[in-house]
Amino acid sequence: MTNDKENDQVTRRAREIHPKGEAGHQSGAPETRITPQTRHDAGPGEGHHSTDHTRIHPPARSGEGRTVIQGGPAERGRVDSHDRVTGWLVAISGPGKGKARPIFEGKNSVGRDSEQRIPLDFNDSEISRSEHFFITYERKRREFLISDGVKANLVYLKGEVVLGGAKKLSAGDEIEVGQTRLRFVPLCGPDFSWDDA
């Protein structure tokens, strides 16, 4: 007879994170921990306890903090990021027309891969997967700069190819990459900085 606990959703997810299970751990090795989270629903005159969701704590990789996967309704879709938005790239033509991507402080790699700091995942195959170009927000001068990437594909600013040194971006500038045309919309600049907020 199959043990239901061995095949429930939480146990299957834990196996995906650490397929060997507890038997695969060596002494002192990091372990996957599963913690049930209990919700208290108080009805009129009585209390009710139910398991609302479960936290799975996968083993931390060497040199990294522990990742926490949280499955409760309140936790889904939450982004735990300290990157501050400094502006946006808005697609005004091409496959991603109408979509926007945030620009963060510091140097931002731009490409169609989801691992890029600014992912242009618009189904435009002419955009390089990674590092097609870079956009940098330089906090001290409160300036945005665009520079070419390490790939063979080119990027254009106001119709001119971007090669060599970085070029300054101004509000409303248009950037062409592959079949996509983007408009630069700054948040930070002379009138606003997160340092002042």
Residues 8-26: b if buried by 16+ CB within 10 A, e if exposed:
eebbebbeeebeeeeeeee
Q: Within this chain, do residues 19 and 63 fall inside the same structural domain, yes or no?
A: yes
Same domain, 93 and 33: no
- Percentage of the chain modeled with pLDDT above 90: 55
In contact, 175 and 90? CB cutoff 8 Å = no
The answer to whether 104 touches 98, Cβ cutoff 8 Å, is no
Task: Summarize the confidence of residues 128-132 as an average pLDDT.
Answer: 96
On whether the CB atoms of residues 162 and 67 are closer than 8 A, the answer is no
- Confidence at 137, pLDDT banded by 50, 70, 90: very high
CATH number of the CATH domain containing 178: 2.60.200.20
* pLDDT of 101 over the 80 cut: yes
* Least confident segment among 3-17, 25-39, 159-173: 25-39
Residues 107 and 63 in one domain: no
Query: Residue 129 falls within a domain, yes or no?
Result: yes
pLDDT, residue 197, reads: 79
Contacts of 140 (CB under 8 A, 6+ apart): none
Number of domains forming the structure of the chain: 2
**62 and 120 both lie in a single domain:** no
Which pLDDT score is estimated for 3? 53
Is the separation of the CB atoms in 142 and 193 below 8 Å? yes
57/104 same-domain check: no
Report the predicted TM-score, pTM, of the whole model to 2 decimal places.
0.60
pLDDT bracket for residue 22 (50, 70, 90): very low
Say yes or no: 98 and 42 in one domain: no
Find the domain containing 40 and state its range: 4-70
Q: Is residue 33 part of a domain?
A: yes
Given a cut of 70, is residue 194 above it in pLDDT? yes
Whether residue 182 sits in one domain with residue 89? yes
- Rounded Cα distance, 147 and 161, in Å: 10
Tell me if 197 is assigned to some domain. Answer: no
pLDDT digits (tens, 9 = 90+) for 149-160: 988 999 999 999
* Residue 47 domain flag: yes
The number of CA neighbours under 13 Å toward the Cβ of 132 is 27
Pick the residue with more confidence: 71 or 131? 131
Assess whether pLDDT exceeds 90 at residue 47.
no
List of residues 6+ apart from 88 with CB closer than 8 A: 100, 101, 102, 103, 184, 185, 187
